[in-house]
Chain A
Amino acid sequence: MAYSTKKLQEEKVFKDPVHRYIHVRDQVVWDLIGTKEFQRLRRIRQLGTTYLTFHGAEHSRFNHSLGVYEIIRRIVDDVFAQRPEWDESERLVSLCAALLHDLGHGPFSHSFEKVFDLDHEAFTQAIILGDTEVNQVLKRVSSEFPQNVSDVIAKTYENKQVISLISSQIDADRMDYLQRDAYFTGVSYGHFDMERILRVLRPREDQVVIKSSGMHAVEDYIMSRYQMYWQVYFHPVTRSSEVILTKILHRAKELSEMNYKFAYEPYHFVSMFNGIVTLKDYLKLDESVIMYYFQMWEEEKDPILRDLCSRFMNRNLFKYVEFDPSKEYKKLNELEKLFQQAELNPDYYLVVDSSSDLPYDFYRPGEEEERVPIHLMMPSGELRELSRQSDIVDAISGKRRTDHKLYYPKDCVTDDSTHKEVKAKIKTILGIE
């Protein structure tokens, strides 16, 4: 039997709190899960620093990747199978792309990518196409199979229907993370009737559409997404921890550029400091490694690195005030000067952070948009864009909500033992007297 169609003698199942069970029958999928690159995802939290706000948010990218795989498996095996618009030969590439879509994520990806100019998607491609155990498994299917899986994840695959299963405004990735993140954070948002949505998904040329009878389940999904973004993903305390984490990395990089002699040589960071990160170096990184350095750096001579690491490890985070960049950028310039006078380096201790989300966006013919809309399939077979049918979705379509906050170390600013007059001015401007 060809490797691509080989089944396990007995179905394997993973117990899962979101989907109850994750079912694996394909030998290829089982072998991929066993690779060291996939197992590495157990050591990378799905929500980065969110555990400092919601203590239950310790789940990993491994959990989520299996969840996305399970959703796709149910779609292709239970919903799409035998439908003439679905090409059965795309089944395995869809399953593998779902399983591997986050493979290139590193520890605290968002901050690392920003500071060291990395791209987890490029690393996903590199792991799938490079000298790795994952590549060895995929190559056993066929010589072009690794490239096909990589193309689906990069959204450059020829069959757009397969891409839209894994990456669109209603895709398996989002359906899993909303429910999983809601479960582990313990919030009551993020729940929607996925069973219903899966039942009404239909394959069409270049996309996956939804039977119009499933519109209300989709409305619920969009509202869940909106609430999760503002209640969980953009929580200001989580953002504060992200700000500090990012500043630690900036400081370590800056010290390296200044040829600072670290008491604890940052071996794992050297390639990032030098700007040449090999796949081998990248795969050695996980959150345990990073936390080890942060703990060690709490004892460094450099006061900024030491302080920031201590803040992160002990959850002594920055406080924030609301900030309107359009009206207050001059105030920011003033604060920067005052922070310098107070011997608080504004590059590290005064940070504007912005969050923004677009709950749903539509594309109407003739408009210059790039997002694929959600299409409802009417009983006649005609396709209609969701916001034209749903008043609820129409009310939030294309409406971006943006929030800016200014983060600062309140303990330092309110410590009047030094620079009392300057700090009084800072407190006045920040409105924290």
Chain B
Amino acid sequence: MMKDHAKLMQAFFVSGEIVGRKKLQKMIYIAKKLSFPFHEKYQFHFFGPYSEELTLRVEELCNMGFITEQKEKKSGYTQYRYGITEEGQAFLDAQSTNPMPSVEACLRDLNDQSSRFLELVSTMLYFDGLQEKELIQKVQKVKSKQNYTEEEISEALAYIKHLSTVS
């Protein structure tokens, strides 16, 4: 019952604070690709893999008062900051079992990265069926407006390998 909500609550709990909707979307997508049991369905959108279901669940958790979403004006853009509330902690404590054991290291690592970098990593994982050369071409094509450098792409490839050691 509400198991998927509980898993997201666990993700917020272990990550501490998550800054940015895009970052949150990409963190959960990457964790899902690493076989952590998140069930939100993703499609390819503007900024790479995006889940309408995740957006909905996060809104529900906000409406329930389990997490807070603070809107912050930055120079030229708006960002959202997420944190868990006392009610949210009580909800999580009321779960009979830990809904997501062993996800902590992975999510903390992802939370330390920038949303731009996670956008690149998640897009590369979205096309993980392609060979490396084709993958890079595809990413450069679908992400042409983001102008990712070769260095960033190499870093992303290395990071994907690194992730397998923390998951």
Contact = CB atoms under 8 A, between A and B. Distances in A.
B76 A325 contact: no
Contact of A326 (B45, B64, B76, B80): B64
* Most chain B CB within a 10 A radius of its CB, from A158, A368, A400: A368
Nearest to B123: A156
Interface in A96-144: 113-114, 117, 119, 121
Contact of A336 (B1, B20, B22, B79): B1
B47 A333 contact: no
Nearest to B91: A329
Given A329-B91, A370-B46, A402-B56, 20 more contacts: A155-B43, A156-B138, A156-B142, A325-B5, A326-B63, A326-B87, A329-B2, A329-B94, A330-B94, A332-B1, A333-B94, A350-B1, A352-B2, A356-B60, A367-B77, A367-B78, A368-B78, A369-B21, A370-B47, A402-B63
Contacts of A346: 1
Contact of B1 (A352, A369, A372, A400): A352
B147 to A, nearest CB: 16
Contacts of A119: 41
B148 to A, nearest CB: 16
Given A121-B43, A352-B1, A402 B59 contact: yes
B60 A354 contact: yes
Given A329-B91, A330-B94, A368 B21 contact: yes
Nearest to B138: A156
Contact of B79 (A114, A329, A350, A368): A368
Given A366-B76, A368-B79, A368-B80, A156 B59 contact: no
- Majority secondary structure, B binding face: mixed
Nearest to B115: A368
Interface of A: 113-114, 117, 119, 121, 154-156, 158, 325-326, 329-330, 332-333, 336, 346, 350, 352, 354, 356, 366-372, 400, 402
10 contacts: A156-B44, A158-B141, A350-B1, A366-B76, A367-B77, A367-B78, A368-B80, A369-B21, A371-B46, A402-B56
Contact of A370 (B5, B50, B79): B50
A368 B76 contact: no
Contacts of A366: 76-78
Given A155-B45, A400-B59, A402-B60, A326 B1 contact: no
Contacts of A356: 56, 59-60
Contacts of B79: 368
Nearest to B127: A156
A325 B2 contact: yes
A389 B46 CA distance: 24
Interface string B51-62: 000001001100
A368 B20 contact: yes
Closest 10 pairs (CB-CB, A-B): A326-B64, A366-B77, A370-B45, A368-B21, A155-B44, A370-B50, A370-B46, A356-B56, A368-B22, A156-B142
B125 to A, nearest CB: 13
